[in-house]
Homo-oligomer: A and B are copies of this chain.
Amino acid sequence: MTAIPESHRYLLDAPVATLSTIGPDGRPQSTVLWFAADGDTVKLSLHPARQKTKNLIANPVASLLILDVENTGKYLELRGDVTIEPDPDYAFADAFVTKKYGLDLRVIDGDTAGQRVVVTLRPTRVNAVDMGR
Protein backbone atom coordinates (compact mmCIF):
# COMPACT_ATOMS: atom_id res chain seq x y z
CA MET A 1 0.00 0.00 0.00
CA THR A 2 2.79 2.43 -0.76
CA ALA A 3 1.75 3.77 -4.15
CA ILE A 4 -0.03 7.10 -4.18
CA PRO A 5 -3.09 6.62 -6.39
CA GLU A 6 -3.68 8.92 -9.35
CA SER A 7 -6.93 10.08 -7.75
CA HIS A 8 -4.99 11.77 -4.94
CA ARG A 9 -1.67 12.75 -6.55
CA TYR A 10 -2.84 16.33 -7.09
CA LEU A 11 -2.70 16.76 -3.32
CA LEU A 12 1.11 16.60 -3.54
CA ASP A 13 0.87 20.13 -4.97
CA ALA A 14 -1.22 21.43 -2.05
CA PRO A 15 0.20 24.41 -0.17
CA VAL A 16 0.35 22.80 3.28
CA ALA A 17 0.26 19.46 5.05
CA THR A 18 -0.20 18.37 8.65
CA LEU A 19 2.81 16.59 10.12
CA SER A 20 2.35 14.37 13.14
CA THR A 21 5.32 13.32 15.23
CA ILE A 22 5.79 11.84 18.67
CA GLY A 23 6.87 14.22 21.39
CA PRO A 24 9.28 13.60 24.25
CA ASP A 25 6.30 12.59 26.43
CA GLY A 26 5.35 9.85 23.97
CA ARG A 27 2.28 11.73 22.79
CA PRO A 28 1.37 12.79 19.28
CA GLN A 29 2.00 16.37 18.18
CA SER A 30 0.71 17.97 14.99
CA THR A 31 1.78 20.99 13.05
CA VAL A 32 0.97 22.52 9.68
CA LEU A 33 3.89 23.08 7.35
CA TRP A 34 5.19 23.48 3.83
CA PHE A 35 6.24 20.38 1.98
CA ALA A 36 7.47 19.31 -1.43
CA ALA A 37 6.92 16.07 -3.28
CA ASP A 38 9.97 14.41 -4.80
CA GLY A 39 8.83 11.38 -6.77
CA ASP A 40 7.20 9.04 -4.28
CA THR A 41 8.79 10.68 -1.27
CA VAL A 42 7.86 13.88 0.52
CA LYS A 43 10.49 16.32 1.71
CA LEU A 44 10.40 18.98 4.37
CA SER A 45 12.83 21.79 5.09
CA LEU A 46 12.98 22.10 8.87
CA HIS A 47 14.91 24.14 11.35
CA PRO A 48 16.62 22.07 14.07
CA ALA A 49 15.50 24.48 16.79
CA ARG A 50 11.85 23.54 16.26
CA GLN A 51 10.19 20.89 18.43
CA LYS A 52 8.98 18.88 15.43
CA THR A 53 12.56 18.53 14.22
CA LYS A 54 13.74 17.46 17.67
CA ASN A 55 10.93 14.91 17.77
CA LEU A 56 11.97 13.44 14.41
CA ILE A 57 15.63 13.27 15.40
CA ALA A 58 14.70 11.40 18.61
CA ASN A 59 12.05 9.21 16.95
CA PRO A 60 12.16 9.24 13.13
CA VAL A 61 8.56 8.23 12.48
CA ALA A 62 5.87 10.47 11.04
CA SER A 63 2.47 10.76 9.49
CA LEU A 64 1.85 13.46 6.92
CA LEU A 65 -1.74 14.27 6.05
CA ILE A 66 -2.74 16.44 3.10
CA LEU A 67 -6.32 17.68 3.21
CA ASP A 68 -8.12 18.90 0.12
CA VAL A 69 -9.17 22.28 1.48
CA GLU A 70 -11.82 22.62 -1.23
CA ASN A 71 -13.30 19.17 -0.57
CA THR A 72 -12.71 18.26 3.06
CA GLY A 73 -13.96 14.72 2.53
CA LYS A 74 -10.81 13.97 0.56
CA TYR A 75 -7.30 13.55 1.91
CA LEU A 76 -4.05 11.67 1.60
CA GLU A 77 -2.13 10.28 4.56
CA LEU A 78 1.45 9.11 4.21
CA ARG A 79 3.05 7.18 7.04
CA GLY A 80 6.63 6.13 7.26
CA ASP A 81 10.10 6.52 8.62
CA VAL A 82 12.08 9.65 7.95
CA THR A 83 15.72 10.35 7.25
CA ILE A 84 17.30 13.66 8.17
CA GLU A 85 20.19 15.31 6.38
CA PRO A 86 21.80 18.72 6.74
CA ASP A 87 21.13 21.31 4.04
CA PRO A 88 23.88 23.83 4.87
CA ASP A 89 24.04 25.38 1.39
CA TYR A 90 20.22 25.44 0.98
CA ALA A 91 20.42 23.09 -2.02
CA PHE A 92 17.08 21.50 -1.14
CA ALA A 93 15.55 24.74 0.04
CA ASP A 94 16.38 26.41 -3.27
CA ALA A 95 15.38 23.45 -5.45
CA PHE A 96 12.06 22.77 -3.76
CA VAL A 97 10.92 25.41 -1.33
CA THR A 98 11.88 28.44 -3.38
CA LYS A 99 10.51 26.76 -6.51
CA LYS A 100 7.14 25.92 -4.95
CA TYR A 101 6.62 28.88 -2.65
CA GLY A 102 8.80 31.63 -4.08
CA LEU A 103 10.45 32.14 -0.70
CA ASP A 104 14.11 32.37 0.24
CA LEU A 105 14.49 30.50 3.51
CA ARG A 106 17.81 32.24 4.19
CA VAL A 107 15.82 35.41 4.76
CA ILE A 108 13.37 33.65 7.08
CA ASP A 109 16.22 32.01 9.01
CA GLY A 110 18.20 35.22 9.47
CA ASP A 111 20.94 34.74 12.06
CA THR A 112 20.41 30.97 12.10
CA ALA A 113 20.91 30.51 8.35
CA GLY A 114 22.84 27.37 7.45
CA GLN A 115 21.38 25.14 10.16
CA ARG A 116 18.41 23.86 8.20
CA VAL A 117 17.85 20.14 7.58
CA VAL A 118 15.99 18.16 4.91
CA VAL A 119 13.58 15.56 6.21
CA THR A 120 12.62 12.84 3.73
CA LEU A 121 9.52 10.76 4.41
CA ARG A 122 9.37 7.48 2.51
CA PRO A 123 5.80 6.27 2.82
CA THR A 124 5.35 2.67 3.91
CA ARG A 125 1.61 3.13 4.22
CA VAL A 126 -0.62 5.30 2.07
CA ASN A 127 -4.23 6.08 2.92
CA ALA A 128 -6.06 7.80 0.08
CA VAL A 129 -9.47 8.69 1.44
CA ASP A 130 -12.52 10.03 -0.36
CA MET A 131 -15.60 10.23 1.83
CA GLY A 132 -17.63 11.10 -1.25
CA ARG A 133 -19.32 14.08 0.34
Contacts and interface: CB of A to CB of B under 8 A. Distances in A.
Q: How many identical chains are in the complex?
A: 2
A28 B67 contact: no
B20 A28 contact: yes
Interface stretch (A35-43, A57-65, A90-98, A112-120): A57-65
A30 B30 contact: yes
Q: Is the interface of A mostly helix, strand, loop or mixed?
A: strand
A95 to B, nearest CB: 22
A32 interface: yes
Interface string A8-31: 000000011010111000111111
Contact of A32 (B26, B62, B72): B72
A18 B127 CA distance: 14
